[in-house]
Chains A and B, each alone.
Chain A
């Protein structure tokens, strides 16, 4: 047996297959579930260890990205979601999933206020969709998703990725170590500089967690940077490895998040135990 991961799909979510692949690679038993099927049986969540709301364009980003799908989840899943995050589970919202989970109020949920919208993820400062690779610094975070990681090279692809909040919320996030990921330029803070910070996000924020760190939301896409051949510098890495007579490692930064999740649940031990 192993831990179970559920990946939500439907209504324009589009990264469910890559996300499921990440969980599977890490050893999870991963299933993709259409939101309407989950709505018919929200109790399924009781049997799940890791939940992902993947990237995509749910409802075409109409009425504000993530807003519409969050409303759908709120109305159809009810308390099942809050019950899920209250258990010792892991949740990851990626890109559109980040926007949805934030709109559901499952992150940052400062002061344990799950369900309250405390931050907004809104239109890029450039008002333009940006698809490019970025460097992320892993901040001092208690998140199981990020243990042992210091930086990540992964892509972003979004039109609305700018974290915005009032100053008191920002201070709370900083004080509680809930800012998990920040955009970097050459290993140092991007300080809002485009394109290193691709969206003008407050304090270079790329991802945040709830207070427990078990709910992680991030705009960049770890599931699109799991293999070396997916990297924007693949041709250079490949060439350097060939010259030096080395074998290019297959795995890239993004996979580590899924492996961390597997580690958290002791997936390997579970598998050994059968």
Chain B
């Protein structure tokens, strides 16, 4: 007997009001919206008292009323009356197998209340009052559900009344697998067939394919060769495992391959080498502890603590389901923190979104003839913002640091960056906390959630361009509370008991990835796939093994400690399963009910991947420098610049992300009385230590249109500059690189990449700022059709995100961006050159130009060293890095932040618009109290470009040379663009 518990909110409901406004914006005739929360139980609760007890946890009697509807029975008399005046009922629920967190909680509560298990599914009914026809309702439905993961159904009032409500839907997973088994795959086939297997997947009995392995012919031939030498056909499990392990996503093959004259590949030659050279040069002042070898990078925080950082991307899933992609991104990178060393405690989250203009209706399709449309930029933006909100806030991790960058070329492949900073004692039980390794004989313990079909082929899928065949199973939704439970149990209890040898997370590639990686420590493993717990029956062994079901960690545990760990976890409501053992056999072995599912050498698994030498070409982009007319109204031009997407306030995001939880916020994401969104934040992640962490980021994707070398240098310089401006110390600053490229199988794109990597190698070494972790995503291309059915390929501009993490030895060194007192001096540090190529101003004027900013590493280093010293003496009352929009925008932001005037006079040979909006790198604007003037100028020492350009005033306008603009107008323009989102 199916039961529906329907909870009506009788008081004013903020959710309904907001949805009402959202629906009205579509232009449709909407009078009123109400939201009904629904819990569906497959096997209803018969006993009246038990039902009443359960309802307590679903309903608030002060504002809500619950009805219990049973199939085939008329609803209670006042049901229709309570549903009230509406025209349409629209119900949104989850599709079978999609993570239903609310349903999960409802099931847990019901089990707790009744003392026995029940499965509940959640859905929502939206009651709409308004003159609409069914197609209107369907259009509205399309704006609030994603058909890849959710179902929508509707009824008009008449039908609703006749039927006594909506129909009960039970989204139970029913798999049509005839019987799970290990299938042999014959690789003694033609190259054509090898190509097909690599591209479309292993053939099923009916001739259909299982989905892409993402393996090239070269890879397939290596596998063919291996199994020839083993003298047997491969199994499907083996092939899927190799595809996953060798994927671009996991092996970073493009960065590892020989490229032109660089035989050791870009990663080793540039990124890793930069760090090792810096560490060597720093000698006893090296602050790196663990770099590149673990799930995060770790540096010294103070005498007792280490701080870790990792930034991930989750681009492809976010294109299909922005909410699911983003929440999985943030919750996933939390595990990269928990999976560092013996387990670091997540202390701070970062985010970053590269998106198309949310105000535009950009229409593209994955299939021909308007099939399979891409989501609108607005839907994607709202979804990714909400995903990080949900994941970060529910996990109790502050999310202070982030950015949004807009360019319409992100329309088909948005970039979603998610990062987590962690803290961990440098020693635990007298041993260095970053050391871990599986030991021969350790048990393999899987912790957290059960396994479903979620994210099958996620790793291989993210390594290819998005097209019509992209599998919907790549979509997953995170479950932050399940993860929070084991995060707390591991970091706050189990870790410090010293009970396990190693821990890692289950991310892309699932168990296949985590177990194979961990087994490198001891040299082999044997695991029983049938011991892995499932969300629903009927999954194939290969699916179980590579499933990317979220919220799982893998531990290597000495056998004698298994019971103790499991008992602690159980007390914390965390499930765990002993599924195999690590050994020194040299082989990776899987069984399925005692039958061998995989038995290959560890050596082939990890090192059997053939090298693919790469070659590159490079052509500089850009147009000739334009000869623009001079603006007639400079004040208005500055006001217009403030409203541009890449300049305007992103406070609507910052205010939704809890940046105060854990009590660690020092300088938040919006600063000053006038609340200006910043490029760096300062936190104190260990409350009892006075040391603080400064987080920053830098990127300049549009510069790639002219030269990726300058793009990369600007990204790195912006990140360092923002960190130093916020009070950081160039001598204790580390970097993370996230490379999001496109079409990385084309020599020209690879040439752009090589140039960028060479540039950041040189810069990092000069600044002595080591890379400690990174990630790449090489195929951010969309292939599909436009509204006129023309085939299109849209590639993102080659994007490098450089994230900075620095340590300041005293929280008091933090510097905010807002001027503090009238009469203070304003200084511009740095030189403004005729460098507007690919700038915001040129884009505003509709041109690209050619003079892209060229970063002067040696000069900037002198500035950052001097300013680091000034920070320690607290000589700057405020500081803001000059970034997109140049001096004019930076000065306006300062005035808005401080709600104060500025009286500025700058001497320059440049025409005023170039002076105001040039994006020359290496510039910071500071204000200095008159009493500190002398000390400040002295400490800036040999750095040549320290220019006193005016004073802070009490006026309500900003004056720059002959231009005068009202702070109110600048403020309004700065906040209006994204103020309504």
> Known: A12-B485, A128-B656, A243-B929. Contact between A118 and B62, CB under 8 A?
yes
A67-86 contacts to B (CB < 8 Å): 67-68, 70-72, 74-75
**Binary flags per residue of A42-70, CB closer than 8 Å to B gives 1, else 0:** 00000000000001110111111001101
Task: Kindly list chain A residues whose C-beta atoms are within 8 Å of the C-beta of B664.
Answer: 230
Q: Compute how far the CA of A243 lies from the CA of B671 in the bound complex, rounded to whole angstroms.
A: 20
A1-53 contacts to B (CB < 8 Å): 9-15, 17-18, 21, 34, 36-37
Is A103 an interface position by the 8 A CB rule? Answer: yes
Is B151 an interface position by the 8 A CB rule? Answer: no
Q: Which of B571, B660, B667 contacts A37 (CB 8 A)?
A: B571
Could you tell me if A71 and B56 are in contact, using CB atoms closer than 8 angstroms? yes
Is B859 an interface position by the 8 A CB rule? Answer: no
Q: Compute how far the CA of A61 lies from the CA of B37 in the bound complex, rounded to whole angstroms.
A: 13
**Minimal Cβ-Cβ distance residue in A for B571:** A36
Could you tell me if A63 and B659 are in contact, using CB atoms closer than 8 angstroms? no
A201-217 contacts to B (CB < 8 Å): none
Could you tell me if B101 and A234 are in contact, using CB atoms closer than 8 angstroms? no
B800-823 contacts to A (CB < 8 Å): 811-812, 814-816, 818, 820-821
Interface stretch of the complex, out of A141-149, A177-185, A218-226: A218-226
Closest CB in chain A relative to B21 CB, distance in Å: 9
Tell me the count of chain B residues lying within 8 A, CB to CB, of chain A. Answer: 74
B471-487 contacts to A (CB < 8 Å): 480-481, 484-485
Is B319 an interface position by the 8 A CB rule? Answer: no
Could you tell me if B656 and A18 are in contact, using CB atoms closer than 8 angstroms? no
Task: Kindly list chain A residues whose C-beta atoms are within 8 Å of the C-beta of B106.
Answer: 62-63
Could you tell me if B102 and A62 are in contact, using CB atoms closer than 8 angstroms? yes
Q: Is the interface of A mostly helix, strand, loop or mixed?
A: mixed
Interface stretch of the complex, out of B12-20, B174-182, B717-725, B766-774: B12-20
Closest CB in chain A relative to B516 CB, distance in Å: 32
Could you tell me if A68 and B17 are in contact, using CB atoms closer than 8 angstroms? no
Could you tell me if A131 and B58 are in contact, using CB atoms closer than 8 angstroms? no
Task: Kindly list chain B residues whose C-beta atoms are within 8 Å of the C-beta of A63.
Answer: 37, 39, 57-58, 102, 105-106, 109
B642-695 contacts to A (CB < 8 Å): 654-668, 671, 684, 687
Is B135 an interface position by the 8 A CB rule? Answer: no
Q: Compute how far the CA of A101 lies from the CA of B820 in the bound complex, rounded to whole angstroms.
A: 42
Is B781 an interface position by the 8 A CB rule? Answer: no
Is B488 an interface position by the 8 A CB rule? Answer: yes
B835-883 contacts to A (CB < 8 Å): 874, 877-878
Q: Compute how far the CA of A21 lies from the CA of B663 in the bound complex, rounded to whole angstroms.
A: 10
Task: Kindly list chain B residues whose C-beta atoms are within 8 Å of the C-beta of A12.
Answer: 394, 396, 480-481, 484-485
Task: Kindly list chain A residues whose C-beta atoms are within 8 Å of the C-beta of B671.
Answer: 235
**Binary flags per residue of B767-804, CB closer than 8 Å to A gives 1, else 0:** 00000000000000000000000000000000000000
Could you tell me if B571 and A131 are in contact, using CB atoms closer than 8 angstroms? no
Q: Which of A21, A59, A67 contacts B60 (CB 8 A)?
A: A67
Q: Compute how far the CA of A15 lies from the CA of B15 in the bound complex, rounded to whole angstroms.
A: 26
Could you tell me if A56 and B659 are in contact, using CB atoms closer than 8 angstroms? no
Closest CB in chain B relative to A76 CB, distance in Å: 8
Is A270 an interface position by the 8 A CB rule? Answer: no
Is A127 an interface position by the 8 A CB rule? Answer: yes
Is B905 an interface position by the 8 A CB rule? Answer: no
**Minimal Cβ-Cβ distance residue in A for B688:** A21
Q: Compute how far the CA of A149 lies from the CA of B39 in the bound complex, rounded to whole angstroms.
A: 45
Is B113 an interface position by the 8 A CB rule? Answer: yes
Q: Compute how far the CA of A71 lies from the CA of B510 in the bound complex, rounded to whole angstroms.
A: 34
> Known: A164-B63, A230-B665, A239-B820. Contact between A131 and B814, CB under 8 A?
no
Task: Kindly list chain B residues whose C-beta atoms are within 8 Å of the C-beta of A242.
Answer: 874
Is B573 an interface position by the 8 A CB rule? Answer: yes
**Binary flags per residue of A103-128, CB closer than 8 Å to B gives 1, else 0:** 10000000000000111101111111
Is B572 an interface position by the 8 A CB rule? Answer: yes
Q: Compute how far the CA of A195 lies from the CA of B19 in the bound complex, rounded to whole angstroms.
A: 20
Q: Which of B9, B104, B485, B878 contacts A11 (CB 8 A)?
A: B485
**Minimal Cβ-Cβ distance residue in B for A9:** B488
> Known: A57-B396, A62-B101. Contact between A34 and B571, CB under 8 A?
yes
Is A165 an interface position by the 8 A CB rule? Answer: yes
> Known: A37-B571, A63-B58, A117-B60. Contact between A127 and B15, CB under 8 A?
yes
Could you tell me if A11 and B481 are in contact, using CB atoms closer than 8 angstroms? yes
Task: Kindly list chain B residues whose C-beta atoms are within 8 Å of the C-beta of A227.
Answer: 663
> Known: A62-B106, A127-B15, A224-B663. Contact between A240 and B820, CB under 8 A?
yes
Is A236 an interface position by the 8 A CB rule? Answer: yes
Q: Compute how far the CA of A15 lies from the CA of B481 in the bound complex, rounded to whole angstroms.
A: 14
> Known: A18-B662, A122-B63, A128-B656. Contact between A67 and B18, CB under 8 A?
no
Q: Compute how far the CA of A55 lies from the CA of B665 in the bound complex, rounded to whole angstroms.
A: 16
Closest CB in chain A relative to B324 CB, distance in Å: 15
Could you tell me if B14 and A120 are in contact, using CB atoms closer than 8 angstroms? no
Q: Which of B113, B662, B663, B820 contacts A71 (CB 8 A)?
A: B113
Q: Compute how far the CA of A127 lies from the CA of B35 in the bound complex, rounded to whole angstroms.
A: 12
Is B133 an interface position by the 8 A CB rule? Answer: no
Is B931 an interface position by the 8 A CB rule? Answer: yes
Counted as pairs of residues, one from A and one from B, with CB atoms less than 8 Å apart, the total is 202
Closest CB in chain B relative to A159 CB, distance in Å: 8
Task: Kindly list chain A residues whose C-beta atoms are within 8 Å of the C-beta of B666.
Answer: 229-230, 234
Q: Compute how far the CA of A75 lies from the CA of B830 in the bound complex, rounded to whole angstroms.
A: 65
Is B497 an interface position by the 8 A CB rule? Answer: no
Could you tell me if A67 and B14 are in contact, using CB atoms closer than 8 angstroms? no
Could you tell me if A122 and B929 are in contact, using CB atoms closer than 8 angstroms? no
Closest CB in chain B relative to A7 CB, distance in Å: 13
Closest CB in chain A relative to B811 CB, distance in Å: 5
> Known: A127-B18, A235-B667. Contact between A75 and B113, CB under 8 A?
yes
Is A132 an interface position by the 8 A CB rule? Answer: yes
Is B11 an interface position by the 8 A CB rule? Answer: yes
Is B112 an interface position by the 8 A CB rule? Answer: yes
B349-407 contacts to A (CB < 8 Å): 389, 393-396
Q: Compute how far the CA of A41 lies from the CA of B14 in the bound complex, rounded to whole angstroms.
A: 40
Closest CB in chain A relative to B671 CB, distance in Å: 7
Could you tell me if B15 and A62 are in contact, using CB atoms closer than 8 angstroms? no
Could you tell me if B11 and A122 are in contact, using CB atoms closer than 8 angstroms? yes
Q: Compute how far the CA of A62 lies from the CA of B124 in the bound complex, rounded to whole angstroms.
A: 13
Is A155 an interface position by the 8 A CB rule? Answer: yes
Task: Kindly list chain B residues whose C-beta atoms are within 8 Å of the C-beta of A129.
Answer: 389, 393, 655-658
Q: Compute how far the CA of A103 lies from the CA of B61 in the bound complex, rounded to whole angstroms.
A: 10
Could you tell me if B61 and A117 are in contact, using CB atoms closer than 8 angstroms? yes
Q: Which of A75, A164, A232 contacts B11 (CB 8 A)?
A: A164
Closest CB in chain A relative to B398 CB, distance in Å: 9
Q: Which of A18, A60, A75 contacts B394 (CB 8 A)?
A: A60
Could you tell me if B660 and A60 are in contact, using CB atoms closer than 8 angstroms? no
Closest CB in chain B relative to A57 CB, distance in Å: 4
Could you tell me if B481 and A57 are in contact, using CB atoms closer than 8 angstroms? yes
Closest CB in chain B relative to A221 CB, distance in Å: 7
Closest CB in chain A relative to B396 CB, distance in Å: 3
Task: Kindly list chain A residues whose C-beta atoms are within 8 Å of the C-beta of B657.
Answer: 129, 131
Could you tell me if A119 and B62 are in contact, using CB atoms closer than 8 angstroms? yes
Closest CB in chain B relative to A235 CB, distance in Å: 4
Q: Compute how far the CA of A162 lies from the CA of B666 in the bound complex, rounded to whole angstroms.
A: 27
B743-783 contacts to A (CB < 8 Å): none
Could you tell me if B814 and A235 are in contact, using CB atoms closer than 8 angstroms? yes
Closest CB in chain A relative to B366 CB, distance in Å: 31
Closest CB in chain B relative to A240 CB, distance in Å: 7
Supply 12 A–B pairs (Cβ within 8 Å), ascending by A.
Answer: A13-B396, A15-B661, A57-B484, A67-B59, A75-B113, A120-B11, A122-B63, A123-B15, A129-B658, A164-B62, A236-B820, A239-B820
List the 6 closest pairs (A to B, CB-CB), nearest first: A14-B396, A235-B816, A62-B105, A71-B57, A127-B18, A120-B62
Beyond A59-B105, A129-B657, 10 extra complex contacts between A and B, CB < 8 Å: A15-B662, A34-B571, A36-B571, A56-B396, A62-B102, A62-B104, A63-B102, A164-B63, A224-B661, A230-B666
Q: Which residues of B contact A (CB under 8 A)?
A: 9, 11-15, 17-19, 37, 39, 56-64, 101-102, 104-106, 108-109, 112-113, 122, 389, 393-396, 480-481, 484-485, 488, 571-573, 654-668, 671, 684, 687, 811-812, 814-816, 818, 820-821, 874, 877-878, 929, 931
